[in-house]
């Protein structure tokens, strides 16, 4: 099932430290509309899909979302590389540093930790797929907000790529919803 290539899906090579940007990008690591929530949502929902096609799609998208977690974590880490205590304080990351040091922790920019409450699943394929389409649109909007906040092309390019993947996933879920909408999904 797994073939791990030791490279990111899209290269991340940020050369300039920017703790302000690292703090806001954290939302795509552990925030409500972030990559970790999406990965866990899809990997859980796959078990309630009515056929192998739906299960395979959710598995594929869910595992890709895990790769996106890796990209976002890399971005945050590179943006924080070599930061001084003064820079950490100035960026408002001192509460995070006090508890986690320079380690990443899934949270939003406000420091709220990731919660399983972000994982939408009700066991109804059409409802879950509708939730997934909405989740992809919310993630797309967040990426657009992050792009608007960014000034460094080394940050913007991976964000643009991740934003595009949200659009691709939305369209895949839309096709799956269309596939299931007129069939009896009751077991």
Could you report the per-residue pLDDT of 126-178, keeping only the tens digit for each? Answer: 999 999 999 999 999 999 999 999 999 999 999 999 999 999 999 999 999 99
Could you report the per-residue pLDDT of 96-119, keeping only the tens digit for each? Answer: 899 998 999 999 988 899 999 998
Is 2 a residue whose pLDDT tops 80? Answer: no
CATH class of 19-180: mainly alpha
CA pair distance 154, 18, nearest whole angstrom = 11
* Mean of pLDDT values over 29-55: 95
Higher pLDDT: 121 or 165? It is 165
CA pair distance 145, 142, nearest whole angstrom = 5
Question: Domain boundaries in the chain?
Answer: 19-180
CA pair distance 59, 82, nearest whole angstrom = 37
Q: 182 falls in which pLDDT band (50, 70, 90)?
A: confident
């Amino acid at each position: 099932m797994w073939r791990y290539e030791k490279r990111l899906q899209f290269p991340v090579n940020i050369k300039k430290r920017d703790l302000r940007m690292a703090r806001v990008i954290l939302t795509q690591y552990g925030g409500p509309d972030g990559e970790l929530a999406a990965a866990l949502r899809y990997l859980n929902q796959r078990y309630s899909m009515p056929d192998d096609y739906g299960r395979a799609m959710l598995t594929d998208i869910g595992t890709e979302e895990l790769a996106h977690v890796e990209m976002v974590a890399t971005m945050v880490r590179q943006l924080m590389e070599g930061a001084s205590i003064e820079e950490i304080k100035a960026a408002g990351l001192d509460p995070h540093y006090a508890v986690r040091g320079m380690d990443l922790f899934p949270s939003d920019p406000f420091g709220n930790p990731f919660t399983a409450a972000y994982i939408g699943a009700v066991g109804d394929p059409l409802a879950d797929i509708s939730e997934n389409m909405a989740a992809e649109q919310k993630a797309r909007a967040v990426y657009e907000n992050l792009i608007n906040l960014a000034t460094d092309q080394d940050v913007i390019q991976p964000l643009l790529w991740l934003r595009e993947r949200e659009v691709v996933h939305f369209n895949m879920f839309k096709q799956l919803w269309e596939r299931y909408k007129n069939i009896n999904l009751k077991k």
